[in-house]
Structure 1
Amino acid sequence: MSVMEDAEAAPALPDGEDQVLSPTVQRVLLVWDAPNLDMGLGAILGGRPTAAHRPRFDALGRWLLARTADLSAGHPEISVEPEATVFTNIAPGSADVVRPWVEALRNVGFAVFAKPKVDEDSDVDSDMLAHIETRRSEGLAAVLVASADGQAFRAPLEDIAQAGTPAYVLGFREHASWALASDTLEFVDLEDIPGVFREPLPRIGLDSLPEQGAWLQPFRPLSSLLTSRV
């Protein structure tokens, strides 16, 4: 279903941001699965994104605020508050590279849950799910998960939606057939959110060719054959 008309113990928020909510306060929770979306964006681009193709979290934050305002207008009897979170792994030796990005996220109002990437079992899936469940127990007006990981998120999100809380999946259509096919989840393509990308993504593929045809650019330069072992 698509719509664009109008996260063991849960990880704590940074110091000073933890709040005890009254029963009349509910959250609109955004969970951004950074490892998964980085991989998906790289697949679309055929490599690492340039500045023009990196998501703008300030634009995403403004969109979340507008979505929260819409939900709040429909429920004047409660206070609806947005919460924007990013979950990411930090590979050994990468802290200095990642630090500016993390600080930029925090500067525009996103809480960041960062976890050392030491092995295949140290991903952040369980942390995202635990945080979602914690917020659900406290009061959840809506949950929005930016991820293509249907194996991790489809069943929990559909359970939330079937209980009456709006559940959205944000991502790229090419990687979210599980969300598009769901009868209970709403899908929002990230490129449909105003300002999230400075320039259109090069999303032409064999299954989405225009009538006049299109060039499919190489994944690597021809000169790479000179250094190839094959």
Structure 2
Amino acid sequence: METLDPSFEFDTAFAPGAAIPATKDTLLLIWDAPNLDMGLGAILGGRPNAAHRPRFDAIGRWLLARAGELSHQRGTRVEAEATVFTNVTSGGADNVRPWVEALRNVGFAVFAKPKKTEETDVDPDMLEHIRRRHAEGVLQGVVVASADGQNFRETLEELAAEGVAVTVLGFHEHASWATTSELLNFVDLEEIPGVFREPLPRISLDSLPESGAWLQPFRPLSALLSSRS
């Protein structure tokens, strides 16, 4: 993974929908929608229903409270900024549009990228946005929400070593890399008040029921056909 470069510059003047430069101290939330959907599906054993879909208004209130705490700690006003990163499959725009509009109405920015192949993901774009805010000199804190965000570990630990307040938001079943880190703070998504209408049916390998438990795959086996070199 590329490391942070303080001289890193972004040429976004002609990029459609480019991120707006930040001028105020910022607590940045990066939400990895494809990965969190996969992690949530693994916990539920299938697609989530309304009771088990995360409520972004609750996440927004939690982030605002964290920004207030960070403001008090740093002695400066820290603004909360939240962006959801997602892929849009071919022909899927109509299905995802209401969700995107709902997010924007709550106050979240959305970065949407076409899903061209199984390997097309938004990890590079999330890392780029973190580096952008770091290069702008405004990054007081960053929250990365991802079920398995190990791709972010090196960058996040570098930021934490520089004094940036770093939190990983996800599911403890999939985040041992974060829970064991001496530099990163981990918060289980279900710990945030009001995020889920009903408790998740959590299954841990450390506390399996006597009758056993089915653990569903993270992606269909057929995905191997499109990933052959």
1:105 matches 2:107 = no
Show the counterpart of 2:73. 74
**Which structure 2 residues correspond to residues 212-227 of structure 1 after superposition, within 5 A?**
216=213
Show the counterpart of 1:154. 153
Alignment RMSD = 2.4
Letter in 2 for 1:27: T
1:48 matches 2:47 = yes
* 1:22-66 Cα deviation digits (max 9, x unpaired): xxx310000000010000000000000010000000000000000
SS of the residue 1:41 aligns to: helix
Show the counterpart of 1:119. 117
The counterpart of 1:137, out of the listed 135, 147, 150, is: 135
Cα displacement (A) at 1:97:
0.6
SS of the residue 2:142 aligns to: strand
Cα contact 1:14–1:111 (8 A) shared by 2: no
SS of the residue 2:203 aligns to: coil
What CA distance in whole angstroms lies between the structure 2 residues aligned with 1:178 and 1:19?
31
Show the counterpart of 2:220. none
What CA distance in whole angstroms lies between the structure 1 residues aligned with 2:49 and 2:122?
25
Cα displacement (A) at 1:18:
2.4
Normalised by the size of structure 1, how large is the TM-score? 0.82
Cα displacement (A) at 1:209:
3.7
* 1:120-149 Cα deviation digits (max 9, x unpaired): 442111000000000111211100000133
Show the counterpart of 1:88. 86
Larger Rg: 1
Normalised by the size of structure 2, how large is the TM-score? 0.82
Letter in 2 for 1:81: E
Show the counterpart of 1:226. none
Letter in 2 for 1:100: P
Give the share of equivalent positions with the same residue, in percent. 64
SS of the residue 2:187 aligns to: strand
Show the counterpart of 1:168. 167
SS of the residue 2:69 aligns to: helix
* 1:159-179 Cα deviation digits (max 9, x unpaired): 100111111100000000000
Unpaired runs of 5+ residues, structure 1, are 1-7, 220-230
